[in-house]
Structure 1
Amino acid sequence: MLRRRWTSRPSCGGCDERSVDRGAATVWVVGGMSVVMVVMTSVLWLAAAVVARHRVEGAADLAALAAAVVAVDGEQQACAEARWVVEHMDTVLRSCRLSGWDALVEVDVAFGPFGSAAARARAGPVEVKR
C-alpha cells in the first residue's frame, strides 16, 4: 500500500502550480542583460574614439614628416606629399603650410555618429649643435 505525503501548498482557488510563478526572474535577467549591453556599447564607443585619436595622430605625424622632407621644393610640393600620406591613411588633410622650414599640418578623421577626431603636427629640420 502506498502512502501519500501531503504537503501544504498555498491555496490559490483551484489553480495549478504554473500560475503561482510571477516571472520575476525573467524580468531581472532581462534587466541585467540590458545593463550589460549598455555598458558594453559604451566601452566599444570609447574604444572606437581612442582608435580614431591614435589613427589621426599617426597620420598627422607622418604627413608632417613627409612635408618636411620635401620642404626645400616649396609649399605646394610639401603639401602634396602630406596629402598623399593622409589619403593613404584614410584621413582628411584640413590644412598644410610651411613656416620657414617647418611643416605644419592638421588632419581630421570621422568616426561613428558622434563626430571626428583631429590632430596637429609640426616637423622640420634637426639642428645639430657641435
Structure 2
Amino acid sequence: MTPAGRAAVTDPARGAGTVLLLGVVAVVLLCVVGLSALGGAQHARARAQSAADLAALAGATGHRSGFGACEIARAAAGRNGADLVGCEPGEGGTVTITVTVRAGGPLPIGDATARARAGPDPTATVRTTA
C-alpha cells in the first residue's frame, strides 16, 4: 500500500538482471556438461583402442603358440576394462579383435568400440640369401 499522495512507482526493468544472470549461468552449465561428455567419450575411445591393441597382441601370441587366441584375448581385454565382442583368429597367427568400453561422464552416451589386428603381415614376403 502506498502512502497517501504518492503514486506507486513501478520499474519495468526491475529484476531483469536476475533473469539475465540465470540465463548466463544455465548456458555456462550446459557447456560444462557438454564438454565433460565429450571428454568422457574421447577417454573411452582411447581406453577401448588400447585394450583392443593389447588384447590383439596377447591373442596373436597365444595363437602362434598353439593356445586359444580368443580366451587369451578376452582375459587381456577384461584386465584393461573392456568387453571382448569379436575375435577372429586368422591364417598365419593373426588375430582381429573388437572390444567395447562403457563411456563415463554425466550423460549416458553409450559404448566406445575399437578394433585391432595383430600378427605377421600376410602380404609380406620372406627373402632368403644364398
Which TM-score band (shorter chain)? Answer: 0.7 to 0.9
Q: Please list, as runs of the form range in 1=range in 2, the aligned pairs for 1:1-130 lying within 5 A after superposition.
A: 13-14=7-8, 20=11, 22-74=14-66, 77-100=68-91, 101-112=93-104, 113-125=108-120, 129=127
Percent identical among aligned pairs is 37
TM-score, normalisation: structure 1? 0.78
For structure 2, which runs of at least 5 residues remain unmatched after alignment?
1-5
The structure-2 alpha-carbon separation of the partners of 1:123 and 1:129, relative to structure 1 and needing over 3 Å to count, comes to: farther
- How far does residue 85 in structure 1 lie from its aligned partner after superposition? 1.1
Higher relative contact order (CA 8 A, sep 6+): 2
Are residues 27 and 99 of structure 1, via their aligned partners in 2, closer, same or farther at CA, if it must alter by over 3 Å?
same
Partners of 2:82 and 2:100 within 8 A in 1: yes
Aligned length: 115
TM-score (norm 2): 0.78
Q: Which has the larger radius of gyration?
A: 1
Query: How far apart are residue 115 of structure 1 and its match?
Result: 1.3
Q: CA RMSD in A?
A: 2.1
C-alpha offsets along residues 96-125 of structure 1, whole Å, 9 cap, x if unaligned? Answer: 121111111110112252211111110003
Task: Note the residue ranges of structure 1 that are not aligned, 5 or more in a row.
Answer: 1-11
